[in-house]
Amino acid sequence: MIPAKDREAITQLAVRYQVTRLLLFGSSTDPTREARDIDLAVEGLPPEEFFHFYGDLLFSVSKPVDLIDLSQDSKFTRIVRLPNQ
């Protein structure tokens, strides 16, 4: 579970960067425990904006962020997409 303030910051940044899909995955999705980090996956973010978005996330939330680009096809991105299809 992530704090409401972090959720709001993430949402605002996703809108500003025009992210078309944003998925929360990993331990942050478990409402019964406090996650140590925030695992996010994005689609629709131009490659040249990826690290700008990532940097803004890191400075806007209270926990470390792991960010993956779902436009890159790999076994891992297919697993992340699977429960959210």
Give the pLDDT of residue 34.
82
Domain of 15? 4-84
User: Side by side, which strands form the sheet with 21-25?
Assistant: 21-25, 38-43, 65-69
pLDDT, greater one: 13 or 3? 13
CATH number of the domain within which 72 lies: 3.30.460.10
pLDDT at 85 over 60: no
Name the residue among 44, 35, 40, 37 with its Cα closest to residue 25.
40
Q: Into how many domains does the chain fold?
A: 1
Output the pTM of the full model. Answer: 0.84
Cβ atoms of 36 and 65 within 8 Å: the answer is no
pLDDT for 15-61, tens place per residue? 999 999 998 988 888 888 888 999 999 999 999 999 999 999 999 99
